């Protein structure tokens, strides 16, 4: 029997940014939970500074990919910044084969993502 990890979304403020940590498979059945968390973060006033931690997401379907693209568009429209923290694997490969890796700023960990924010400041 294969046991899949439970899906979980957590948000936290760190300095002037928000980290959305996603854990588990990202597919159409859990997409509304992630979308709601993103909506709450982007409803806050000011330019969004957002790190999506996807290092513990082993699978992402087209709905999950759509959420990432929509989030990037919304953040850019608000003149903010979105950074993805990705482990090597499925999501990094998915971004590459769809040529979306050219549009997303990605790092191997949340710490590396914050390092990029610090370097730009």
**pLDDT higher than threshold 70 for residue 116:** yes
Determine the pLDDT at residue 63: 96
**If pLDDT is split at 50, 70 and 90, which confidence band does 2 have?**
low
Q: What is the pLDDT of residues 16-29, one digit of tens each?
A: 899 999 999 999 99
pLDDT greater at residue 41 or residue 15: 41
Give the residue, 46 or 74, on which the prediction is more confident: 74
**Model pTM score:** 0.90
Dump pLDDT digits (tens) for 62-91.
999 999 999 999 999 999 999 999 999 999
- CA 25: distance to chain centroid? 13
Q: Which residue carries 């379907």 as its tokens?
A: 61
Name the fold adopted by 9-120: Transcription Regulator spoIIAA (3.30.750)
Distance spanning both ends of the chain, measured CA to CA: 49
DSSP alpha helices (H): ranges in the chain? 31-42, 62-77, 90-97, 110-120
Distances (CA, A) of 29 to 34, 35, 64, 71, 103: 10, 12, 10, 18, 26
- Domain ranges in the chain are 9-120
Q: Look at residue 110 and tell me whether its pLDDT is greater than 70.
A: yes
């Amino acid at each position: 029997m294969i046991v899949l990890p439970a899906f979980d979304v957590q948000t936290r403020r760190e300095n002037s940014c928000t980290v959305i940590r996603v854990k588990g498979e990202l597919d159409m059945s859990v997409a509304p939970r992630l979308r709601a968390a993103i909506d709450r973060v982007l409803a806050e006033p000011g330019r969004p500074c957002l790190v999506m931690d996807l290092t513990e997401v082993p699978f992402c379907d087209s709905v999950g990919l759509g959420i990432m693209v929509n989030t990037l568009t919304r953040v850019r429209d608000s003149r903010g910044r979105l950074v993805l923290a990705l482990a090597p694997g499925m999501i990094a490969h998915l971004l590459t084969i769809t040529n979306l890796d050219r549009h997303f700023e990605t790092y191997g960990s949340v710490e590396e993502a914050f390092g990029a924010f610090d370097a730009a400041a």
